[in-house]
């Protein structure tokens, strides 16, 4: 029963996220409403961590598997990419590395002044 | 082969799980951190599909039930984030500075490269939401008049690449602070990168999860401004 109840809570927050996505005219997907909603529920104590702990750990642990189908779908994208693939892939890869380096270095530089003991 | 599998629900599900389990086993056997289970699982699935002349739709007929879990799994990212709330409060300024600079770098680097590679306006706006989570990125691309199908492809590619390369990039740039690591991974490579951050550690995973939300919202606002620049 424990896992069933935990899954029910997680799905109820997902459902509310889905409804907000349908009702509000914002480009925000159900999952983002859901993560904000779950955070608020935990913060206000309406949901306790113990009520979702095991199932949420499990879902997070298996999350990489959930990206496999979408990535395998890239084989269908070849037709739209083939004429420009080199420039498209270059832009994608270069910008990903730069963004990672800049956001990490800036965060590290600012924490360095205040918060110690994070390494 | 297609004929037999056309109506199968479990082929796609089985292949996806089997490929991932096999990929993790390969990583364990070779004891190398350079081997990325996500990438290997993707390659195994593609190899099987191509070798068996199986349509993607046949595969996805079952595999889509795995993708469906993405929304509840993303909702669950709030749990480690809440557990790490003290870290979030202590480092609030640094976290916001990191995410904002990351989003601006993403949009700015795409603007610069769009000019270098001579992208059309439509191609440029197709790339603007590349570092954010797919569902938000699609609507940004659509709103700005981009090619939505290409945006989705680029977002997935960004995530998989971020997942594979993040440990090397962090090491190369001397990013050792755990909060900074999480922010870097999440801001650059959304949920697919975050699944790697979760494996690195709970602080990294929580901060990466936060970055998905904040960078997604910031990109929605800033992309419309950047769209006017090329």
* ipTM, 2 dp: 0.91
Tens of pLDDT, residue by residue over B137-147, are 998 999 899 99
- The answer to whether B12 and B58 are in contact (CB under 8 A) is yes
Please determine, for residue B27, whether its predicted confidence score (pLDDT) is greater than 80: yes
The pLDDT of residue A115: 47
Phi, psi of B73, rounded to the nearest 5 degrees? -65, -40
Q: pLDDT tens digits for chain A (119 residues)?
A: 899 999 999 999 999 999 999 999 988 889 999 999 999 999 999 999 999 999 999 999 999 999 999 889 888 888 878 888 899 999 999 999 999 999 999 999 999 754 455 56
Please count the other Cβ atoms lying within 10 Å of the Cβ belonging to residue A34: 29
Asked if B190 is an interface residue toward chain A (Cβ–Cβ < 8 A), one would say no
Please determine, for residue B3, whether its predicted confidence score (pLDDT) is greater than 80: no
Q: How many CB pairs under 8 A join A and B?
A: 321
DSSP character at residue B177: -
- The answer to whether B102 and A106 are in contact (CB under 8 A) is yes
Contact B79 A114 (CB under 8 A): no
Whole-angstrom Cα distance, residue B179 to residue B170? 12
Please determine, for residue B194, whether its predicted confidence score (pLDDT) is greater than 60: yes
Set of chain B residues whose Cβ sits within 8 Å of the Cβ of A75 = 46, 49-50, 56
The pLDDT of residue A26: 86
Tens of pLDDT, residue by residue over B28-47, are 999 877 788 999 999 999 99
The pLDDT of residue B1: 60
Phi, psi of B9, rounded to the nearest 5 degrees? -90, -35
Across residues B159-187, what is the average pLDDT? 96
Residue indicated by tokens 């996806």: B16
The pLDDT of residue B8: 87
Burial class of residue B149 in the structure, from the number of CB atoms within 10 Å of its CB (0-12 exposed, 13-18 middle, 19+ buried):
middle
- Chain CA centroid to CA A96, Å: 17
CA distances to A58, B123, B140, B177, B227 from B203, rounded to whole Å, are: 17, 36, 29, 10, 34
Tokens read off for A52: 């979702």
Contact B147 A56 (CB under 8 A): no
- Chain CA centroid to CA B24, Å: 19
The pLDDT of residue A117: 52
Tokens read off for B192: 């697919």
Q: Give me the residue spans of the domains in chain B.
A: 2-68, 78-229
Asked if A69 is an interface residue toward chain B (Cβ–Cβ < 8 A), one would say yes
Set of chain B residues whose Cβ sits within 8 Å of the Cβ of A61 = 198
The pLDDT of residue B5: 81
Whole-angstrom Cα distance, residue A72 to residue A68? 6
Across residues B102-108, what is the average pLDDT? 98
- CA of B228 vs chain A CAs: smallest distance (Å): 19
Contact B69 A66 (CB under 8 A): yes
Q: Percentage of residues in chain B with pLDDT exceeding 70?
A: 99
Contact B38 A64 (CB under 8 A): yes
CA distances to B67, B70, B190 from B209, rounded to whole Å, are: 18, 13, 8
Contact B127 A10 (CB under 8 A): no
B97 vs A74, residue with greater confidence: B97
Asked if A83 is an interface residue toward chain B (Cβ–Cβ < 8 A), one would say no
Tens of pLDDT, residue by residue over B52-83, are 999 999 999 999 999 999 999 999 999 999 99
- Chain CA centroid to CA A17, Å: 14
The pLDDT of residue B218: 94
The pLDDT of residue A45: 97
């Amino acid at each position: 029963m424990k896992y069933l109840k935990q899954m029910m809570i997680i799905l109820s927050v997902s459902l509310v996220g889905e409804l907000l996505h349908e009702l509000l005219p914002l480009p925000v997907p159900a999952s983002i409403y859901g993560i904000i909603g779950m955070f608020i529920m935990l913060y206000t104590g309406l949901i306790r961590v113990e009520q979702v702990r095991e199932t949420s750990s499990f879902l997070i642990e298996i999350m990489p598997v959930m990206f496999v189908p979408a990535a395998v779908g890239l084989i269908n994208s070849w037709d739209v990419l083939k004429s420009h693939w080199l420039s498209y892939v270059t832009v994608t890869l270069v910008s990903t590395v730069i963004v990672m380096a800049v956001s990490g270095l800036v965060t590290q530089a600012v924490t360095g002044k205040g918060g110690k003991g994070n390494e | 082969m297609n004929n037999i599998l056309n109506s199968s629900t479990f082929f796609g599900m089985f292949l996806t799980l089997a490929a991932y389990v096999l990929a993790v086993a390969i990583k364990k056997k070779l004891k190398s951190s350079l081997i990325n289970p996500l990438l290997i699982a993707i390659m195994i699935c593609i190899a099987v599909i191509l070798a068996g002349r199986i349509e993607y739709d046949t595969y996805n007929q079952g595999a889509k039930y795995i993708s469906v879990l993405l929304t509840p799994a993303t909702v669950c990212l709030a749990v480690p984030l809440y557990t790490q709330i003290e870290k979030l409060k202590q480092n609030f300024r640094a976290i916001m500075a990191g995410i904002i600079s990351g989003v601006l770098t993403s949009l700015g680097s795409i603007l610069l490269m769009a000019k270098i590679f001579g992208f059309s306006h439509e191609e440029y706006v197709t790339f603007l939401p590349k570092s954010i989570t797919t569902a938000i990125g699609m609507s940004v691309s659509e709103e700005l008049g981009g090619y939505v199908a290409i945006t989705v492809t680029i977002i997935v590619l960004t995530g998989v690449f971020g997942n594979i390369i993040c440990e090397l990039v962090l090491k190369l740039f001397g990013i050792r602070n755990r909060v900074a690591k999480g922010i870097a991974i999440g801001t650059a490579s959304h949920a697919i990168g975050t699944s790697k951050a979760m494996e690195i550690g709970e602080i990294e995973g929580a901060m990466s999860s936060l970055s998905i939300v904040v960078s997604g919202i910031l990109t929605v606002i800033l992309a419309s401004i950047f769209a006017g620049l090329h």
